Structure 1
Amino acid sequence: MDDVAKDLTAGTVGGAAQLVVGHPFDTIKVKLQSQPSPPPGQPPRYAGAIDAVRQTLAAEGPRGLYKGMGAPLATVAAFNAVLFTVRGQMEAVLRSDPGAPLSVAQQVVAGAGAGAGAGFAVSFLACPTELIKCRLQAQSVLATAAPAPAAAAAAATVAAAPAAAAAVKYGGPIDVAKHVLRSEGGTRGLFKGLFPTLAREVPGNAIMFGTYEATKQLIAGGHDTSLLGRGSLIMAGGLAGASFWGLVYPTDVVKSVLQVDDHKSPKYKGSMDAVRKILAADGVKGLYKGFGPAKARSVPANAACFLAYEVTRSALG
């Protein structure tokens, strides 16, 4: 098995581990991001992450925390294979001799370059995958968003129509894809939110891979990290995951609100319009809805991802 095939295999295993560990946190993040601002004087649907977990478990059971996992699971192989394969190839380019260890600076360059280059590539996989995932995760929030009372006037009923239209009930990932392709502009509809996805993946992955390599070098006390134990790899992966969201989180909020926006009566005209309206409605904190679950997810999920990758890659020789 050549190096590319090894990176493909190890990247797939790492991605699966990341998804299984992190998806419940991601579900709560998307629910918090997509819940509409409440009317004046009314509380939001979810008071916070813990309340979102409690309500989700009460209404949907533990399976509710894993809604939408089918779409990313189906593409996790391609997604992480691209990331880790590009990283492996960049390391090979930077080595002076085959098998020679890289310096700290070279490791960081390889990690950051792979993150940026692969981040661009995987955005085109991530965007439709995450649109499907977010629709499934958020539909219970949208279904109960600002319902009109039964005795309300006709005007109130008409005003509530966009919310009802947005509350499409999907049977699963294939159902979402069929609906988008049929009713939202064909293939183009699956790439709604591509710009904020690019704005998240390119710098976010550059920071994450750079942090991972730099942390391994720091723990090892030099450029040779081959002897690091699993505990050290978990620590490096966890720190790398935490670093991902520090700069790019608002782009993820914008991506999510665009992807769950109603196609027939859209609230947002595009990314910049979404930013303006979020700031007007909720201030800067609106761009950080769900930040707690995202950070809580990033540490264990990425620790699992990098550990699974390293262990698998080492086992393949």
Structure 2
Amino acid sequence: MNSADTSSHSESSYEVFKLNADGSSREARTCKPTLSCVQILQMGEVAKDLTAGTVGGAAQLVVGHPFDTIKVKLQSQPHPLPGQPLKYAGAMDAVKQTIAAEGPRGLYKGMGAPLATVAAFNAVLFSVRGQMEALLRSQPGAPLTVDQQIVAGAGAGVAVSFLACPTELIKCRLQAQSALADVGAAGVVVKYGGPMDVARHVLQSAGVRGLFKGLVPTMAREIPGNAAMFGAYEAIKQFLAGGQDTSGLGRGSLIVAGGLAGASFWAFVYPTDVVKSVIQVDDYKNPKFSGSINAFRKILAAEGVKGLYKGFGPAMARSVPANAACFLAYEVTKSSLG
């Protein structure tokens, strides 16, 4: 009697197999015939997503934060009075002025907040996406279609919005303070000493709700943005692989797919990000904008459509290398975990 027959006639144990995309067995584990074995495998997958997502997020942040700083400065600089020039003539001018006033460290202003929460943010993003993938699969181990990846990305976007909003608010207020401050003989007036100082000011001004200022445009960015990004990532991988089985793709292909997927995020939702930024750096006591729609209308009235694309160049310049680093680090880390 072979082992399979023994398992079928014994209540002591049975084997659970994990399948590759091609249907071959990749992992087997002997378990008691209870639901606990399935739960153990599911917990293992969640742990892998948590770990790989954290590593991917850290790589994305280190590569992309200077670009993000310039993007926010360009987005949040006030519209000048008639006859007056903009504070920053463009991305390179913003880089030069930032380095001149704050040194190279100024390009990493506001990095503390996302760095402190990158583990939670990317853990939620990739683990929720992973769990939605499991729900959407037609059978264990089956690759998802592009449409299914879009749905999984949108679901992950809902979850991360509640983490992204307060983190983005603190980051943006730190990054934008030099663009919004008056410049006098003493140089740039710095309002905040760091992420915790921003949080303290916000809590004093508006309470806990103040940390979630801009939640609506944050969700309007994260849900369709992540749907587009994960859908594009899967579509590009399948195109490069010549079919649904993308397990054989090399690191170069993953870099290309990740970079283009990141670009698709910003190309799809950039005006929403501009609205989010101006709302989150707006004053609590004397706000310029009453809400997302009001901010959208005022930007259009004052600056036209181009006002909704301020900082688009740095955002796109950031998205390709930052997301290439993120997806590559995620895939390599998860693969190394087995």
The alignment's TM-score, normalised by the length of structure 1, stands at 0.89
Q: 1:122 aligns with which of 136, 140, 160?
A: 160
Shift of the alpha carbon at 1:77?
1.1
Deviates most, 262-271 or 170-179: 262-271
Aligned to 2:330: 309
**Which one scores higher on RCO, CA 8 angstroms, separation ≥ 6?**
1
Paired residue for 1:140? 178
Q: Whole-Å Cα distance in 1 between the matches of residues 137 and 57 of structure 2?
A: 26
Cα drift, residue 168 of structure 1: 6.4
Question: 1-side partners of 2:136 and 2:290: how far apart?
Answer: 44
The alignment status of 1:11 with 2:53, answered yes or no, reads: yes
Please give the root-mean-square deviation of Cα atoms over the aligned residues, in Å: 1.6
Q: Deviations over 1:165-221 (max 9, x none)?
A: xx76111000100111011x2000001111100100000000000000010000000
Distance in 2 (alpha carbons) for counterparts of 1:98 and 1:273 = 47
Bigger Cα displacement from structure 2, 241-250 vs 109-118 = 109-118
User: Map of 1:196-215 to 2, 5 A cutoff?
Assistant: 196-215=217-236
2:196 is matched with which residue?
174
Equivalent position of 1:277 in the other structure: 298
Cα 1:280/1:94, change in 2 over 3 Å: closer
1:88 matched to which residue of 2?
130
1:45 CA displacement: 0.3
Letter in 2 for 1:304: A
Residue 295 of structure 1 is aligned with which of 306, 316, 319?
A: 316
Which residue in the other structure is 1:44 paired with?
A: 86
In the alignment, is the contact (CA less than 8 A) between 2:53 and 2:122 conserved in 1?
yes
After superposition, the Cα gap between the structure-2 partners of 1:262 and 1:309, relative to the gap in structure 1 and judged at 3 Å, is same
State which structure, 1 or 2, has the greater radius of gyration over its C-alpha atoms.
2
Looking at structure 1, the residues matched to 261 and 108 of structure 2 have their Cα atoms a distance apart, in angstroms, of: 24
For 1:90 and 1:178, locate their aligned partners in 2 and report how far apart those are by CA, in whole Å: 36
Q: Which structure's residues are more often helix, by fraction?
A: 1
The AA in structure 1 aligned to 2:167 is T
Are 2:102 and 1:63 equivalent residues in the alignment?
no
The residue number in structure 1 matching 2:22 is: none
What is the DSSP-based 3-state SS (H/G/I as helix, E as strand, rest coil) of the residue aligned with 1:141? helix
Structure 2: runs of 5+ lacking an equivalent? 1-42
The unaligned stretches of length 5 or more in structure 1 are 150-163
Matched, 1:221 2:263: no
Q: Does 1:110 align with 2:148?
A: yes
Code of the residue aligned with 1:75 in structure 2: it is T
SS of 1:2's equivalent in the other structure is helix
Residues 133 and 152, structure 2, Cα contact 8 Å, conserved in 1: no
Secondary structure, aligned partner of 2:145: helix
- Count of residue pairs the alignment pairs up: 294
* Residue 115 of structure 1, CA deviation: 1.3
TM-superposed deviation, 1:144: 2.3
Deviation at 1:110, TM superposition (A): 3.5
Deviation track 1:38-82 (CA, whole Å, cap 9, x = no partner) reads 111111000000100011111111100000001011111111111
**CA–CA distance in structure 2, aligned partners of residues 168 and 196 of structure 1:** 27
Contact 1:127 1:197 in 2 (8 A): yes
TM-score by length of 2: 0.84
* Counterparts of 2:216 and 2:132, CA distance in 1: 26
State the shift of 1:96 in Å.
4.0
Which protein is richer in strand relative to its size?
Answer: 2
Quick check: 44-53 or 260-269, which moved more?
A: 260-269
Aligned pairs (5 A) from 1:212-291 = 212-291=233-312
Contact 2:299 2:308 in 1 (8 A): yes
* Matched letter for residue 145 of structure 2: Q
- The CA distance in 1 between the partners of 2:133 and 2:281, in whole Å, is 38
Task: Give the conservation status (yes or no) of the 8 Å contact 2:75–2:310.
Answer: yes
Residue 242 of structure 1: how far off its partner (Å): 0.5
Q: Which moved more, 1:168-177 or 1:190-199?
A: 168-177
